[in-house]
């Protein structure tokens, strides 16, 4: 089930405020579906979808396995509401945008660290999660610091007695790790930035990573959802 969450039909146009109850409704729909084995479901999210999946696994019940492709451990973009709790968005500084020689924006340093000051409130409380986690990381991600986020999530989980997540890092691989044989998207319009940005990645290394990542996430889901290797 692919779940749209903004700028689609009657959904909010922007990301200023998101309500986790909307995502909870989707989880409950799947859990009650006769063709879903259960007792839990799996989540797969990339980029902003990754931090949403991390929030779902942290706040909601019934999540057994979660795969994040270059996701953030901080809430990004707008406030996330769930019942009486609000996760504020991590801060950013547009002055940290760099321009390439081609005039494209490199935004990798724009977001603040979720480990410092008021931005610590944006850190998603992963220690609440009962899900198993797999982080797929492109080490040449120019959208944000995905490897740093994956490692910080691992530290937080282990500090609270949770199982260490699986982290697979791919050298020379950019932000958009898509299914195998999709062409590398090195730059495109970023709707939140309002202009073209670079995503990173060497074509050969990125293509190899996409083939492996597809196998890895299927193996992970089979293990934690089906109980088979």
Catalytic residue numbers, as ranges = 47, 141, 175
Q: Render 44-83 in DSSP notation, one character per residue.
A: EEETHHHHHHHHHHHH-SSEEEEEEES--SB--SSEEEET
Alpha helices in the chain (DSSP H): 20-31, 48-59, 146-159, 203-221
Dihedral angle computed from the Cα positions of residues 61, 33, 25 and 78, in that order, rounded to the nearest 10 degrees? 80
* Rounded-to-integer distance, Cα 174 and Cα 170, Å: 9
Dihedral angle computed from the Cα positions of residues 56, 91, 117 and 99, in that order, rounded to the nearest 10 degrees? 120
**Partners of 198 in beta bridges:** 187
**Partners of 214 in beta bridges:** none
Burial of residue 121, with CB atoms counted within 10 A of its CB: 0-12 exposed, 13-18 middle, 19 or more buried? middle
Alpha helices in 93-201 (DSSP H): 146-159
- 196 phi/psi in degrees, rounded to 5: -75, 135
């Amino acid at each position: 089930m692919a779940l749209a969450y903004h700028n689609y039909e009657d959904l909010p146009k922007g990301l200023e405020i998101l309500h986790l109850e909307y995502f909870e409704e989707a989880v409950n729909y799947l859990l009650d579906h006769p063709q879903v084995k259960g007792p839990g479901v799996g989540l797969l999210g990339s980029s902003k979808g990754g931090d949403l999946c991390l929030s779902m696994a942290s706040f909601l019940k019934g999540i057994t396995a979660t795969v994040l492709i270059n996701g953030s451990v901080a809430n990004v973009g707008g406030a996330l509401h769930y019942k009486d709790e609000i996760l504020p968005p991590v801060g950013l500084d547009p002055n940290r945008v760099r321009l390439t020689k081609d005039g494209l924006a490199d935004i990798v340093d724009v977001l603040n660290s979720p480990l410092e000051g008021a931005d610590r409130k944006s850190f998603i409380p992963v220690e609440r999660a009962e899900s198993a986690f797999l982080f797929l990381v492109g080490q040449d991600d120019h959208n944000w610091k995905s490897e740093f986020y994956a490692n910080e999530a691992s530290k937080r989980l282990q500090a609270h007695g949770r199982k260490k997540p699986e982290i697979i890092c791919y050298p020379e691989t950019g932000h958009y790790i898509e299914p195998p044989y999709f062409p590398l998207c090195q730059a495109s319009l970023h709707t939140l930035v309002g202009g073209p940005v670079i995503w990173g990645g060497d074509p050969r290394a990125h293509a190899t990573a996409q083939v492996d990542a597809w196998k890895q996430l299927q193996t992970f889901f089979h293990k934690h959802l089906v109980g088979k290797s």
